[in-house]
Chains A and B, each alone.
Chain A
Amino acid sequence: DTGVSQDPRHKITKRGQNVTFRCDPISEHNRLYWYRQTLGQGPEFLTYFQNEAQLEKSRLLSDRFSAERPKGSFSTLEIQRTEQGDSAMYLCASAKTGNYGYTFGSGTRLTVV
């Protein structure tokens, strides 16, 4: 069990650029979540996958955001035309069916300048 891996750890991008983050969940976990955390706030739910199916999206996830989980393994989160308000820590988590608790990755910190 190598935990949940996220790449990159840090990303600085210019406003208007596209960015993509990757998450590798724990291998036997069929559920995968993306959360966003801004300074002084708790993590906020963005989207949820069960295996390869994206089953839920928060209204926080604007049209500029897209997430995929091909083959039910790793997941990617893409942000198009980044804005300064997108600056945050993007957290990925995975869980087994039936478990309330998640295992989080270390996150990708995005800074949009």
Chain B
Amino acid sequence: DQQVKQNSPSLSVQEGRISILNCDYTNSMFDYFLWYKKYPAEGPTFLISISSIKDKNEDGRFTVFLNKSAKHLSLHIVPSQPGDSAVYFCAAPSSLMNNNAGNMLTFGGGTRLMVKP
């Protein structure tokens, strides 16, 4: 049961153009979403997040859009740079059953972004 899905395993864009990475979720209890970026041989690093009370959050070249009715979010990178080439994961936290103070992140399968110079 994949609660968070990233249906595009890879995306290739030209430097300077927009990159759009998509993510769908099935659990309507999710109320917060995060995007992580991962370079080879490194752990994922936090990029940007959004609460379900918003439909957009922007941080520099990165913008995340949330469509709650469609259970869909997207990450826009404008303009794309070669250094953005990495695997991007969307994730949603859910409370751990035994301790409401903790949470686990459910990750999508990732999208590999390649930005060509």
Contact = CB atoms under 8 A, between A and B. Distances in A.
B59 to A, nearest CB: 13
Interface core residue of A40, A50, A102 (most chain B CB under 10 Å): A102
A43 B107 contact: yes
B43 A56 contact: no
A45 B109 contact: no
A97 interface: yes
B98 to A, nearest CB: 5
A42 B109 contact: yes
Contacts, number: 71
Given A45-B104, A48-B102, A93 B43 contact: yes
Q: How large is the interface on B (under 10, 10 to 19, 20 to 34, 35 or more residues)?
A: 20 to 34
Given A33-B104, A42-B107, A43-B89, A104 B98 contact: no
Contacts of B89: 42-43
Interface centre among B6, B41, B44 (most CB of A within 10 A): B44
Interface of B: 4, 6, 9, 32, 34, 36, 41-46, 49, 89, 91, 93, 96-99, 101-110
